[in-house]
Structure 1
Amino acid sequence: MTRLQQLTKPLALVLILAMTSLTWGCTTTSTGASRGAGIGAGAGAVLGGIIGSQTGSWGKGALLGAVIGGAAGALIGDYMDAQAEEIDSQVDGATVERVGEGIRVVFDTGILFTTGSSTVTSTSRYNIQKLANIMNKYDDTNVVIEGHTDAEGSEAYNQRLSEQRAEAVASLLRAYGVAGNRLSPVGYGETRPVASNETASGRRLNRRVEVLIYANDDLKRQAETGELRM
């Protein structure tokens, strides 16, 4: 059975306060306007890294950096709540988190792949198919598929394996009908651990595939105009 978790509100408050401090002092002159726009555009990514390092997950930080907020954010949150509940109840072998206005789904690569392989096991193919079915139902989202490894072996090998595993999951999702323009597979090798590589249990946590689901522009527009209906 999977595990559905909800990010606590205090961290969301930290996000708001941090965003305020990052954008404080932006000028309105012709030169300052572009500088201010650059700070605003980069704030989400910066906050993603900050919060990611605090929460033990870069993916979680990235989702928090994309928070919209307000009434539109609440509507998107409801949309994501419903999707997360379906993933949690139907997709075995995954940990499901609702983070900000997005969803983080984490698969232990020991479940998806045999050691050193980037071929998804037959059992896991069925779970990826169930995930794809849910994504097709809630199709106003974009999806990042991240591959991660532990620090065993060379950095080059781990980087290549993480890329191959992310692409293998993305390829299956496409095969099961998820539009390719929604999917962004990326490999991070051993560079983004969520636990210590000094222990077997830590290395296992670091060997993972993260699926990050967040609102696309059309879903944001529907939420902002009040057109979004569940």
Structure 2
Amino acid sequence: MRRRALALTLPVAFLAACASDPAELVGQPPRVVFFEGESAELGEAATAVLANAARLARRHPEVPVQVRGYAGPAGGVAHNQVLSAQRAEAVAAALVARGVPRGRINVSGRGPVPFEMSSIESRRVEVLVGYP
């Protein structure tokens, strides 16, 4: 239980130490980009989400950016691991194109979601600004 409490307070302490205005970042939900079926191509709906995430990341150049890709359960674990990584890389490339330095972006493909969720919710990439 103690570890969990420390894990929850680490982002706040990290942001307080390095962000110019940590209050803006604390409690920020992830920006979420959704994908079609077996695709890793960004749709038009992703434009506003990515612009918002890039603007926030540029406003706080001292904090890291996490890009976490997910896929649904269909197609097997190995296939979905690759697909989730491709989706995350597509989002990272879009952030770089919008002025976020690639060196600040930590990209991970998480594979299929580990719990039951709708198919559209599982086909997503989360962008978290300010998490260590």
Per the normalisation by structure 1, the TM-score is 0.48
What letter corresponds to residue 168 of structure 1 in structure 2? Answer: A
Once residues 124 and 76 of structure 1 are traced to their aligned partners in structure 2, the CA distance between those partners, rounded to angstroms, is 29
Shift in alpha-carbon separation, 1:115–1:167, aligned structure 2, 3 A: same
Please tell me whether Structure 1 or Structure 2 has the larger radius of gyration of its CA atoms: 1
Q: Which of 172, 178, 191 is residue 100 of structure 2 equivalent to?
A: 178
Runs of 4+ in 1 over 4 A off after TM superposition: 72-78
Contiguous gaps of at least 5 residues in structure 1: 1-13, 20-46, 52-60, 85-97, 217-230
- Superposition map of 1:66-145 within 5 A: 66-67=10-11, 69=13, 79-83=21-25, 98=27, 103-107=28-32, 109=34, 113-145=35-67
Shift in alpha-carbon separation, 1:76–1:181, aligned structure 2, 3 A: closer
Q: Which of 204, 208, 213 is residue 120 of structure 2 equivalent to?
A: 204
Contiguous gaps of at least 5 residues in structure 2: none
Once residues 73 and 133 of structure 1 are traced to their aligned partners in structure 2, the CA distance between those partners, rounded to angstroms, is 17
CA RMSD after TM alignment: 3.1
Quick one: percent identity of the two aligned structures? 27
Match of 1:154 in 2: 76
Match of 1:226 in 2: none
Once residues 15 and 59 of structure 2 are traced to their aligned partners in structure 1, the CA distance between those partners, rounded to angstroms, is 20
Query: CA shift at 1:180, angstroms?
Result: 0.9
- Return the structure number with greater relative CO, CA threshold 8 A, min gap 6: 2
Once residues 131 and 171 of structure 1 are traced to their aligned partners in structure 2, the CA distance between those partners, rounded to angstroms, is 13
What letter corresponds to residue 107 of structure 1 in structure 2? Answer: V
Shift in alpha-carbon separation, 1:108–1:181, aligned structure 2, 3 A: closer
Once residues 45 and 12 of structure 2 are traced to their aligned partners in structure 1, the CA distance between those partners, rounded to angstroms, is 37
Query: CA shift at 1:143, angstroms?
Result: 1.0
Q: What SS does structure 2 have at the residue aligned with 1:212?
A: strand
Q: What SS does structure 2 have at the residue aligned with 1:188?
A: strand
Aligned length: 132
Shift in alpha-carbon separation, 1:131–1:106, aligned structure 2, 3 A: closer
